Structure 1
Amino acid sequence: MTQPHLVIIGSGMAGGRLLDEIIRRQPGRFKISVFGEERHPNYNRIMLSPLLAGEVSKDEIVLNSYEWYAEHNVTLYSGERIISIDRNKQHLLSSAGTEITYDQLVFATGSRPARIPASGQHLDNIFDFRTLEDVDAIIETAQFSQHAVVIGGGLLGLEAAYGLAVKGIKTTVIHRAGHLLNRQLDARSAEMLRLSLQERGIDTLLNTEVETFHGSTSANSAALSNITLKNGKTLEADLAIVAIGITPNTLLAKAASLEVARGIVVNDQLITSDKQVSALGECIEHRGETFGLVAPIWDQARILANRLIFGLQSDYSTTATPTKLKISGIDLFSAGEVDGLPQDRVVVLQDKSRRVYRKLIIRNQRIVGIVLFGDVQDGNWYFKLLEQQVNVKPLLPTLLFGQAFCSNLEQTSDTPSCVSADTSISAPFISDQENQPHSALTGATL
C-alpha cells in the first residue's frame, strides 16, 4: 500500500517532538517530509541561554541530527520556507522551488519575536534572541562590547542578560512593569531576584521603556551607541537584545486562508479550519489561549500523534505549567496564579537574610498558586497538589514547610496533627492572610 504523505511545516521543537511521538508509535505509518526555515536540524531552543553563556556547545543542544532524519526515513528540507499552499490541490511550494503534495499537513511554524515601538531599530548590533543565528551574532558582537541593554524582564530576557554579564559586559535590563517576571513572581520575590541579579553584574530599570536607539556612523555602517528611555534617562549601549515576548507565526496560515485570530485557530483535536490541516505549538490558538512553554506543547504532540496514527479523538485541554529560571545559582519555581483573589487564603514564609520565599495561594482549600524563591525543593510536590486539586486543609499547620513536615499528617479535616519535625527552621516572616490583608500575623518565629 502507498504510504499517506505527512508534511510538517516547521523543524523546531514542536515539529521535532511530534516526529518523535509518531516514530515511537508506528514509524512506517506515513511518508514524512519536514520543511524548516533555519539551516539546522532540530535543536533545543530552551538551551540558547546556556549557549550564550558558554555553558554548552552547539552540538550539545541538537535534538535530532541529520543522521537521525536519514535513519528514520524522514526527508528534511532545511533552509526551505514554504511560500504557498493550495489547499484544494493539497499542494505546497517552497522558497527553493520544491513542489510537493500532502495527505495530512501540520503547521508547527512557531513564533516570531514581539516588536517594540522604539525608533532607530535599523541600527547594527540590535538583536532578537530566538535562533542559533541570533546567538552567533550576539557572541560575535559581544567580543567588542562594553555596555549592553536587554529589553524585557521576563524569563528569556533575564537569561539573555545573564549570558552577557558572565562575559564581563556591563548589562542593564529594561522592563516596563513594576517588577521582574511579573507573570511568575509577586513583588517581594521579584525584589529578591533583582538583588540576586545585581550581585551578578546585572542592573535593572523598571517602569520604563526604550524611546529611541541612537547610533554612530562609521564607514558604511551605523552601529548602536546609546539609548534614550521614555523617562528621559540616557544609557550607553553598544549591544542590545530585544526579548519582550513572542507572537504566533501565522503569516503562512493567513495566506492559505485558514482561520487565524492571535494564532492559528484549532479545535480540541488540534485541527484547523481545514480538516486535512492540523497545528501545534507556539503558532496556535486554542480556546483563546496561546502557548510559549514546553510542557503544553509536549501534550499537544502526544494528542496529535495519537490521532494521526491511531485515529484517537482525545481532547486537548490546558493545565497549569510550572516555570523555572535558567540562571546559575538562582532558584525559583512558579505555577498557577501569582496574586490570587481578595477572598483567597495567602500563606507566606519569607527569610530576607537568606533570600528564601514561599507563597501559596489557597482557594476553597485547594492550592491555586505557588511562588518559590531560593528554596524550591518542594516545588514539584506543591505542583502535584495543585494539579490534582488536593484538599490541603489538613496540611495547613505545616504546609509552608514542605512535604517532609506534612507526610505524616493525619488526613482528617477535623483534627489535623503533625509528627515532630526538625525545629531548627525559623521563619522571620510568616503571614496567613484570608479575606483581609491587614489581618496578617507578621514577625512570628517558629
Structure 2
Amino acid sequence: MNINHSASTFRKPILVIIGNGMATGRLLDEILSRTPDKFDIKVIGKEPFGSYNRIMLSSVLAGETNVDGIIQKTPQWYEDNSIEFLSDTIVSYIDSDNKNLALQNNQTPDVELLMPYDKLVIAVGSRSAKIPAKNQNIEGIFNFRDIKDTEKIQAFTTQKPDALHQEKNALVIGGGLLGLEAAYGLAVSGVNVTLVHRNKWLLNRQLDEVSGTMLRDVMAAKNINFVLGCEVVEFTHSINAAGEKVISGALLTSGQVLNAQLCVIATGITPNKELAASADIEMERAIIVNDYMQTSNEHISALGECCQHRNSTFGLVDPIWSQCKTLAERLCNGHLSAFANTPVPTKLKVSGIQLFSAGVVESSETTQTYVLTDKKSFIYRKIIVENDVIVGVLLFGNVSSGMAYFDMMLNRKKVSHAMPNLVMGHEFMPAEVKDSLIIAA
C-alpha cells in the first residue's frame, strides 16, 4: 500500500523524521521557530506516546511524577502544528535511491506502507548496552530506556510479595548515572536494592575515588546496597506458577550469589545504527555525520544518540540540543553553522545529592591540584590546573561556583593568582579577584 501524496508542482518538500525522542522534540521546536511553513513534516515514532522527557523516567519510577507529567508533546500538539504523527510505527528499511521508506504499524504488522520523503532525519536514539552474563532470556530482567520499561518495573514494585518472597529484592547492574537513578527510584518505592558495578567506585568516569566513595556512602543511607568491583557471571532462575523461568538471583565474579526477583540493566548505551545500513550510509560505531549533521547521503541527516561526529557519540542533552540548532539552520535557512562538541558538566538527578564534574578528574605530572575535603559533612571540592588554567572541576556536597569554574575552564582564564582561595568558591573571593576572572557574583 502506498501513502498517496499529490504531485503538485507547488507542494511543500516532505521532511520525515524517524524517531520521536527528545532530540526530535527539540528539532521540531527549532524548525517551527524558524520556518514553520516550509516543510510538510511527518514524524514516525515506535512508541504509542508523544515526545516525552526520558530524563524524568527515574522520577516516574520513584513516584515523584507520572507518565502524563513527562509528556512534552501530545498527539494534539502535532495536529495543532500541522505535523503528521505516526505513532506505534517502525521503519523497516530506507530506499534511498527512490527516496521512500517502508513502514509497519505495530497494530497491523503484516501491512507494509511506503512513505516518500525529500529530506530525511534519522533520530532513532540508542538501546541498552549488553552485558556478557549468561541466562538473560528469563522473566524479570529489564532495561531502563523508555516508558514501557518503567511501567514493567513499576508493576513489580507495586505487586504484593508472594509466599516464597516476603521481601522484594532487586538488582541494578551499572554504577553510571542511569544505574544510580534506577536504584534510587526502586529504593524510594520500597524495594531492597543492590547495585552491582564492575569498577571500584561509582561514576568512575566522572568522579575520583574519594568523591565516588562519598557518593556510595550517601546513597547507602537511602537504602541502597553496593557490590563494587564485580560483574554478573550468570543469572539464576526459578519456575513460577505459569511454568515460566523467572529470575531468582545472580552469580557474581566474586563467587557471591545475590537473591533478586527483578534486575535492571543500566550499563550504558549502544547507538541504533542498523536502519542506516539499508540506505548504504557510512557507519562506524554509529551513523557518521559531518559538522552539519549530514550523512554520506546528501538527503539524509542524523542526530542524537544514533550519530557519530568526529569519532564521538552522544548520550547527554546539551550537545544534542546544539546538534538540533545546527540541523535546523541548514534545513530551514540553508545556513551552515558547524556543530562543535564542547565539554558538558555532569550532574546527578537524585534527591538530596549535589554533584558537579567537568573535565579531567585525576591529577597528572603536569597538573597542580587544589583540594578541600570535609568527610564528616560529605563535602569535597577539587580543582585541577594545568598551564595556569582549570582543566578539571569536581564538587560533591556543595556545588556552588560549579558553573563559574566551568566558565573559567572553557574560556581558559588564568587562575593561579587566585589559588588556593578559589577552591573555597567565588563568593569568598575579593572583588578585584572576581573582576580579574570575570566571575558573575
Q: Give the TM-score normalised by structure 2.
A: 0.92
| Alignment pair present for 1:366 and 2:375 | no
**Residues 1:222 and 2:280 aligned together:** no
Report what 1:386 is aligned to: 409
CA 237–412 in structure 1, closer or farther in 2 if over 3 Å, else same: closer
Counterpart for residue 204 of structure 1: 226
The aligned counterpart of 1:439 is none
Counterpart of 1:267 (choices 290, 296, 300) is: 290
SS in 2 for 1:204: strand
* CA distance, structure 1, for counterparts of residue 140 and residue 217 of structure 2: 28
> CA separation of 1:412/1:302 partners in 2, compared to 1, >3 Å: closer, same or farther?
closer
Q: Of 424, 427, 433, which residue of structure 2 is paired with 1:401?
A: 424
Is residue 314 of structure 1 aligned with residue 337 of structure 2?
yes
- 2 CA distance for matches of 1:247 and 1:132? 18
Instruction: Look up the SS of the partner of 1:184 in the other structure.
Output: coil
Whether contact under 8 Å (2:370, 2:420) holds in the other structure is no
Pick aligned residue for 1:49 from 47, 58, 61: 58
Q: What do residues 59-100 of structure 1 show as CA deviations (whole Å, max 9, x unaligned)?
A: 110111111100111111111000011101111111132311
In the alignment, which residue of structure 2 is the partner of 1:168?
190
In structure 1, the residue matched to 2:162 is none
Query: 8 Å contact 2:426–2:434 — kept in the other structure?
Result: no
Separation in structure 2 between the aligned mates of residue 185 and residue 376 of structure 1, nearest angstrom: 14
The answer to whether residue 118 in structure 2 is matched with residue 103 in structure 1 is: yes
Instruction: Confirm or deny that 1:132 pairs with 2:147.
Output: yes
- In 2, distance between residues paired with 1:410 and 1:210? 52
Within a 5 Å distance, the mapping from 1:28-427 to structure 2 comes to 28-96=37-105, 97-144=112-159, 146-218=168-240, 219-406=242-429, 408-410=431-433
Would the aligned equivalents of 2:58 and 2:182 in 1 still touch at CA under 8 Å?
yes
SS at match of 1:185: coil
Q: Judge conservation of contact 1:323–1:335 (CA < 8 Å) in 2.
A: yes
Q: Secondary structure at the match of 2:352?
A: coil
Percent identity, aligned pairs only, is: 45
Name the amino acid aligned to 1:105: L
SS of residue paired to 1:385: helix
Q: Which consecutive segments of 4 or more residues in structure 1 shift more than 3 A? A: 409-413
Secondary structure of residue in 1 paired with 2:431: coil
Q: Which stretches in structure 2 are left out of the alignment for 5+ residues? A: 1-9, 106-111, 160-166
TM-score (norm 1): 0.91
Q: CA RMSD in A?
A: 1.4
| Structure 1 residue 412 displacement after superposition | 9.8
Q: How far apart, CA to CA, are the structure 2 residues paired with 1:93 and 1:292?
A: 28
Letter of the structure 2 residue corresponding to residue 114 of structure 1: A
Contact kept in structure 2, 1:348 and 1:400, CA below 8 Å:
yes
Contact kept? 1:49, 1:160, Cα under 8 Å: yes
Seen in structure 2, the aligned counterparts of structure 1 residues 350 and 103 have a Cα distance that, compared at 3 Å, is same
- Are the counterparts in 1 of residues 318 and 344 from structure 2 also a CA contact under 8 Å? yes
Count of residue pairs the alignment pairs up: 414
Name stretches of at least 5 consecutive residues in structure 1 with no aligned partner: 417-446
The answer to whether the Cα contact below 8 Å between 1:80 and 1:94 also exists between their aligned partners in 2 is yes
* Partners of 1:150 and 1:160 within 8 A in 2: yes
2:3 alignment counterpart: none
